[in-house]
Amino acid sequence: MKKMLKTFVVAGAGLMLLAGAASASEVQRDAKAISYSFEGPFGTFDKAQLQRGYKVYKEVCANCHSMHLVSFRNLSEHGGPGFSTEQVKALAATFTVKDGPGNDGEMFDRPGLPSDRFPSPFANEQAARNSNAGALPPDLSLITKFRPGWFGTINQLFNGIGGPQYVYSVLTGYEEPSEEIKKEQPEGKLYNPYFANGLFISMPPPLTDGQVTFDDGAPNKVDDMARDVSAFLAWTAEPKMEERKSLGFMVIIYLAILASLLYFVKKKIWADQH
Ligand code: HEC
């Protein structure tokens, strides 16, 4: 009996120790709960914000990240940033695209066309890793669908998965680690508790206050640019969002009218049966 009790005490103490260890080592923090114009059943993208977000992507992020699922011409399509086709032609031409092989059998560089996709600035994966201390900058086309900002089925049902908030939080989430966490910090990585792939990230903080100048004179602190570029990346991940929402709304109106018609038809047919 005494022996059994002893075993329980030892096991209990062991469990408490384990629990203590688990709470000491941190996990990915929930994204910061900022809000956007495109949330909710009637929310739409703010075109000016998408244009600013594009500019941040182009001037900063495109130095490392591709967007292979987005074509330049998407930027002038309905429900997007609303650039004109002339503007899209001009901005596509500022990117360099690999094409070929030409008549000499070699690949060659040429300026981008509206039909091209956002290219990677690196020749291949190894070149990308070599420039980024071994880490691969992921393609950003679908990042806001791929990475949730928070977890829990009910939470996500009501608040969405928080993809744009995840991007915003990573961009603004570099912090000075505590002494304890510092001991685990790998060489060349920075502490960012919002990053999904461990607490340390290989991306240096990409934004600094005032880095990108907006044509509409909007504020350009790190916080503002992070909001704009995360909104832009919400659009790249779901360019048909506005269409989907207005279609859903029409379907509900249609079903409501159909249901009331059916109700009156039923009443009429059964009227003399009572
Ligand atoms: C100097 C190159 C560089 C620039 C510039 C850069 N990034 Fe990154 N980024 C990286 C690398 C490398 C990683 C992978 C980090 C890792 O795996 O530790 C990364 C990771 C990320 C992640 C996390 C991806 C994940 O898997 O969850 C996001 C989000 C991100 N970048 C967004 C941006 C945005 C938005 C910009 C522009 C404002 C930007 N980055 C600019 C190099 C860069």
Q: For every one of its 274 residues, what pLDDT tens digit does the chain have, with 9 covering 90 and above?
A: 566 667 666 666 655 555 444 444 568 899 999 999 999 989 999 999 999 999 999 999 999 999 999 999 999 999 999 999 999 999 999 999 999 999 999 999 999 999 999 999 999 999 999 999 999 999 999 999 999 999 999 999 999 999 999 999 999 999 999 999 999 999 999 999 999 999 999 999 999 999 999 999 999 999 999 999 999 999 999 999 999 999 999 999 999 999 999 999 999 999 988 6
Question: 204 CA to middle of ligand 1, Å?
Answer: 8
Q: Are 111 and 92 in contact (CB under 8 A)?
A: yes
Site of tokens 């031409």: 93
From the alpha carbon of 233, which atom of ligand 1 is closest? Answer: 35
Among 56, 60, 65, which is best to mutate for testing ligand 1, by the most ligand atoms less than 8 A from CB? 65
The pLDDT score that the predictor gives to residue 258 is: 98
Q: Whose CA is nearest to atom 6 of ligand 1?
A: 61
The pLDDT score that the predictor gives to residue 24 is: 41
Task: Name the phi and psi angles at 262, rounded to 5.
Answer: -60, -40
114 lines ligand 1 (CB under 6 A): no
Question: 203 CA to middle of ligand 1, Å?
Answer: 5
56 lines ligand 1 (CB under 6 A): yes
Q: Whose CA is nearest to atom 40 of ligand 1?
A: 61
The pLDDT score that the predictor gives to residue 272 is: 86
201: left (phi over 0), alpha (psi -120 to 50) or beta: beta
For residue 208, what are the CA distances in angstroms to 57, 87, 171, 220?
14, 27, 10, 9
Q: How far apart are CA 63 and CA 137, in angstroms?
A: 10
Question: 65 CA to middle of ligand 1, Å?
Answer: 7
Among 171, 172, 203, which is best to mutate for testing ligand 1, by the most ligand atoms less than 8 A from CB? 203
The pLDDT score that the predictor gives to residue 156 is: 94
From the alpha carbon of 200, which atom of ligand 1 is closest? Answer: 18
60 lines ligand 1 (CB under 6 A): yes
Length of the chain: 274
From the alpha carbon of 143, which atom of ligand 1 is closest? Answer: 29
Q: How far apart are CA 5 and CA 69, in angstroms?
A: 62
135 lines ligand 1 (CB under 6 A): yes
Question: 272 CA to middle of ligand 1, Å?
Answer: 71
